Structure 1
């Protein structure tokens, strides 16, 4: 399993982006979480197989039909914490 930290910026809050992210994560069997940050970005912790993460990231870069993704940054993580589902954090 590979763990990554993702930050998504643009018009991504108030447009259902977290729910879109959760739906895509479950579609690609990604575990982890998503949450809005105070600075207007969306933060994602994702854990899964590399090919599934690549497809998941591709979806996040496009966003849903209400969002306008401007930038996606990805950083690898070394974490001992394991998630078994994908949740929306408040």
Structure 2
């Protein structure tokens, strides 16, 4: 079993370009199923989303996660730019 604190300690790396995106600052959880629906990266000054979402946060749907390793989480975010954008990314089929 994986703890939230274990996830937060891992770096998020984009498989598209090998770039480090940051670390997890928040999680979106489906309250009906109890499953994580997405990871939130970036945006300082908030404590687990208690004060709302910042404009510089990136939401990555769970389906875009390729692999969770011991030190990193590999994701596929094909449209990621140098600056964070407040939108969700969808994995290409």
- TM bucket by the smaller chain? under 0.3
CA radius of gyration, larger in: 2
Q: With a CA cutoff of 8 Å and minimum separation of 6, indicate the structure with the bigger relative contact order.
A: 1
Which is richer in helix? 1
Query: TM-score, structure 1 length as denominator?
Result: 0.25
Structure ranking higher in strand proportion: 1
